[in-house]
Chains A and B, each alone.
Chain A
Amino acid sequence: MKTALLLLLVAGCIDPVDPAWSLNHDHVVVARATPPRIHAGDATTLDALVAHAGGPTTVESPLSASAGRTQVTGSIIAVNAPKDVAYDTGDTPVDVLMTFARGTNRALSPVQVKKTVWLGEPADNPAMPDVTIGGAPAGDALTVPADQDVYLSTSVPAGWRVNWLTSAGQLFQDDEPTSYLHVLPADAHDGELACVIRDAEGGVVWKVWPIHAE
């Protein structure tokens, strides 16, 4: 009786939703500035990893970008210090607002993205650290066993953040350096796996693999 009641209550309350780790959902996964730290007045290149419902991810340039009073229609933008900030006080964050086409529904209004670019000592995005899949180094394409827990792991310094995303199977602990993937019989057996890493200095790096479960 109690189990039946619990099932009844849980079943009826809210519509199911795509989890945040799903690549089978139109959304901007992450955006980056290359480089993410520049001298005031220098230019940086903007792009983003975009997921699409029913299709592979793409790396896209913004439709438009703006930083303060500077607006561009391409992916390269020069970023100046805000007028009310003394540039010699140290690293200065400047928000860059971008728009991207909305996934597979490109007739809809664009998606808005905010990325912080730091003015100060220049620095690059981090390099992609080593990743292991099921204990073995990840190659260019991944094949994993179906209906088993497959551990995904990388190692990052303290303060960095890791996100795993996939369009094949289901992820658990998707915002931890060590996550695991489980592809159920009813899940898609082909798709992509992505690992997104944010360092503590505004840098971003990602890698996307085609994945097949068997």
Chain B
Amino acid sequence: MRALEVFPGIELVPVAAVPNAIAIRDAAPDQNRMLFDGFEVPTLLAGGRGVFFRDQSQVWVEADGFGVENGRATGGLIDIFSRPSDRYAYGYELTPMDASVSANAHGASLAVRGSFFEPTGVPLKLDTGSHDFSAQGRVDYRLSRRWSLTLSELGASNSNILFLRPVVTVRYRNGAWRAVIAGSTMYAHVSTYDTRAELRRDLGHALGLHSLEVRIGEDSQYSETSASTESHANEAVWAATTAALTRDIVFIGGVRADAFDSYLTVQPRGMLAVNARGTIVRLAAGAYRRPTDNATPQRATQLALSTENHAGPVLIASTAYYVDRERLLVPINGTTVDGEPDRRATGVATNVGIEVRAVLASGPWRARLGASVSHATRADTPTAASHAADYDLPAHLDVMASRAIGAWQLGARVQLRAGLPYTPVTGSIYNVEADRFDPIDGKVMSARAPWRRELDLRVDRKLLPQLRAYLDVAIDGGVLGYTYNYDYSRRLDIHALPVLPWLGLVGTL
């Protein structure tokens, strides 16, 4: 999952040095969604590993806004699509932390991973009695010339999460018509029952356009806590079109209507893409809503101008963006509901930034560069004083390069990131009855963790035609953030691991 951080706006959010959530630009983890074959799954296992299997998946990061087909998120999306298998192959990978095996046949695949221990707690401890498990599978079956069926599954368990996400997808294709109907359920602490459907018609050169396609669809989710104490129903319908005015000018736009329990929201979104002499320029704008417990839906308006240029072996992409967020939940001082701070939906936030990505693939060389500067602020009400947003990342630089030399491949990666903001604790009140120290917060988000500097060195060596070994050494030791001792008299650094060597064996049969 650390490879995702090459996207400049992505931050793996650590708890006690263990990445366990994903922030995209200033959007907190709960404002983003990770989807598996179109349906939401929890994000990370302990240790920052993805719950999905890289070799059996395609992963798309949608940070510049996304189409009306998806909703219930005001930040970004990480789309994981299971890949159909078209060959017989078996694979395995062994590291000091875990082992995985995968099997692929024509039309079916299965992969399973288990860990030898699990990192837990604050401070970090390694529990050799606890283990992570995850499994991903897919079966494709052609029902007829026009109909096909796909069964896919992603599941994981450890001491914090246990979920199983089976997905049934039926596809139909007949000339200019296409349809997809999918249903899924997720067994977890919160069980969900989900459906998605899409009908699309290719209208060819209708209206004198280069090409025109129209789509309509629905997207529903019913969720219920395992104790059946709380349930939510979210229904959405959408309509969209892809219209190519010429071969080089394409408009994709539509509107989505979501019903979050008793709240109805309408979200128009559009994107205009122009290919100007090899440089693709995209202007995207859209409204995004997500439901919140017992409060009006959160709102975001996203505006992004991006460019993408292929110059020989080099791809250079850039994005300038502005995000406006409203109705963020803000705790009401001194009030609690069921022991949790009561909250009201009055918060606002803005984020403005520029990102640049470059990818080089030339002969034995591979290189990637990601860089961003941004400024994200937030306030409890529109008229209140603003402060740094929780996930404000003013600067981020990530450079990777590798070179193949015979059976060897040598690589290096350097990351430089500004630290995340935090609210310092200025003192505490000792509560005698509870035998507990309650912190006294200083100015909100007025301090910031130090800059992060990370260096990864990697050597890959092909040992046999079907066996490869790698050694990855991560050199860090920086401060990830801070915590406090029990009476808040001392601030404690949470360090990244200073040197982490990682040895792996990867094979195929």
Q: Which residues of A contact B (CB under 8 A)?
A: 1-2, 5-6, 8-10, 12-15, 17-18, 20, 25-28, 30-32, 97, 109, 111-116, 161, 163, 198, 202, 204
Contact = CB atoms under 8 A, between A and B. Distances in A.
A30 B435 CA distance: 8
Interface in B421-460: 427-433, 435, 440
Contacts of A18: 485
B125 A10 contact: yes
B435 A13 contact: no
Contacts of A10: 124-126
Contacts, number: 90
B427 A27 contact: no
A115 B124 contact: no
Interface of B: 16-17, 96, 116-117, 119, 122-126, 128, 427-433, 435, 440, 477, 483, 485-487, 489-490, 492-500
Given A112-B427, A112-B429, A113-B432, A12 B498 contact: yes
A58 B473 CA distance: 51
Contacts of B495: 12-15
Nearest to A1: B96
Contacts of B489: 25-27
Contacts of A13: 16-17, 123-124, 494-495, 497
Contacts of A8: 497, 499-500
Given A10-B124, A13-B17, A112-B427, 4 more contacts: A9-B500, A111-B428, A116-B433, A198-B435
From B16, B123, B125, B428, name the one whose CB has the most chain A CB atoms within 10 angstroms. Answer: B123
B492 A15 contact: yes
11 contacts: A9-B124, A10-B126, A12-B496, A13-B494, A14-B16, A14-B493, A15-B492, A15-B493, A112-B440, A116-B432, A163-B435
B493 A112 contact: no
B433 A202 contact: yes
A9 B126 contact: yes
Contacts of A9: 119, 124, 126, 497, 500
Contacts of A6: 117, 126, 128
Contact of B477 (A12, A32, A113, A198): A12
B447 to A, nearest CB: 17
Contacts of B496: 12
B372 to A, nearest CB: 28
A118 to B, nearest CB: 10
Contacts of B428: 111-112
A12 B497 contact: yes
A204 B432 CA distance: 9
Given A8-B497, A10-B126, A112 B490 contact: no
B497 A17 contact: no
A9 to B, nearest CB: 6
Contact of A14 (B124, B128, B486): B124
A213 B497 CA distance: 38
Nearest to B498: A12
Contacts of A30: 432, 435
Nearest 7 CB-CB pairs, A to B? A14-B123, A13-B124, A112-B429, A17-B485, A115-B432, A113-B430, A12-B497
B430 A28 contact: yes
B435 A14 contact: no
A202 B431 CA distance: 12
Nearest to B117: A6
Nearest to B125: A10
A203 to B, nearest CB: 11
Contacts of B483: 14
Contacts of A112: 427-430, 440
A204 B428 CA distance: 21
Nearest to A31: B432
A157 to B, nearest CB: 17
Contacts of A115: 432-433
A32 B119 CA distance: 41
A28 B96 CA distance: 45
Contacts of B430: 27-28, 31, 111-114
A8 B126 CA distance: 11
A20 B428 CA distance: 15
A204 B427 CA distance: 24
A124 B492 CA distance: 40
Nearest to B502: A5
B13 to A, nearest CB: 16
B497 to A, nearest CB: 5
A9 B124 CA distance: 8
A198 B428 CA distance: 21
A17 B485 CA distance: 7
A26 B490 CA distance: 11
A12 B119 CA distance: 13
Given A17-B490, A109-B427, A113-B429, A161 B485 contact: no
Nearest to A3: B128
Nearest to A105: B489
A31 to B, nearest CB: 5
A162 B264 CA distance: 54
From A6, A12, A113, A202, name the one whose CB has the most chain B CB atoms within 10 angstroms. Answer: A12
A88 to B, nearest CB: 24
Nearest to A103: B489
Contacts of A1: 96
B380 to A, nearest CB: 25
A10 B117 CA distance: 13
Nearest to B486: A20
Contact of A27 (B96, B487, B497): B487
Nearest to B426: A109
A214 B124 CA distance: 35
Contacts of B429: 97, 112-114
A190 B431 CA distance: 30
A45 to B, nearest CB: 15
Contacts of A109: 427
A22 B353 CA distance: 48
A195 to B, nearest CB: 14
From B430, B485, B487, B498, name the one whose CB has the most chain A CB atoms within 10 angstroms. Answer: B430
